[in-house]
Amino acid sequence: MKDCYLGRYNWNLTCAGLENERKIDSRADAKSIKERAKSVLKRHKVGDWEVDTIWFGYFPNQKYLLNINERKSKYCALVLLRNIKREGLMRAFTMCFENSNLPLKTMTSDRGMEFNCHKQFEETFKVPYYYTDKGKPWQKPTVENTNGLIRQFLPEGTKIEEIPSEQIQNIMFLLNNRPRKSLGFRTFAEVLHLAWQSTERRSYEANEPCCL
């Protein structure tokens, strides 16, 4: 399977743009996590993802690491962003899932303003996008746990802009290829490979990182 590391984006996205999105934020038609199938909660199949952002630095020089996690295998894809905005998030999602063999059936995030993209996501990928309840981050436990693992490599105070792309790629590779007791001492990549292969009969190269 190919790791879907996505390197630095240097887009001209401003905090003012994010403020404008706050003014037009509308999620009246957004799907609640309560509507999500119970099979997703029980992790029966691969393809159900959680996403979150890890913030570094202080306004107006904040930088962001997008962390996308598959629930069953705990496989993660990391995207280093200069700024956050709907178009930026969608570009990251598109590069991750359109140009790889990663299975995608659902996406779940919190209600942070950077994730005001459910309509565009569902139109692009034809899969449902769900939001956790306000103030309940534990409803996306996989990505929250991985955030903690990432902080072991990149603690608070890290100047993320000084971290080379190769180091972010290596962090992702180490996370996805470290045997875990909770997975029967298989790696994230192995579990995703085996589960997806058994359900869809598709093959992957599990241990070859790819920088797009």
pLDDT tens figures, 124-161: 999 999 999 998 989 999 999 999 999 999 998 898 88
Higher pLDDT pick, 3 / 109: 109
The pTM for the full model equals: 0.80
Q: Residue 60, preceding bond cis, omega within 30 degrees?
A: yes
As a whole number of angstroms, the distance between CA 52 and CA 81 comes to: 12
Burial environment of residue 70 by CB neighbours within 10 A (0 to 12, 13 to 18, 19 or more)? buried
Read off the tokens for 55. Answer: 């913030």
pLDDT of residue 6 exceeding 80: no
Query: Which pLDDT tens digit goes with each residue over 188-207?
Result: 899 888 877 765 544 334 33
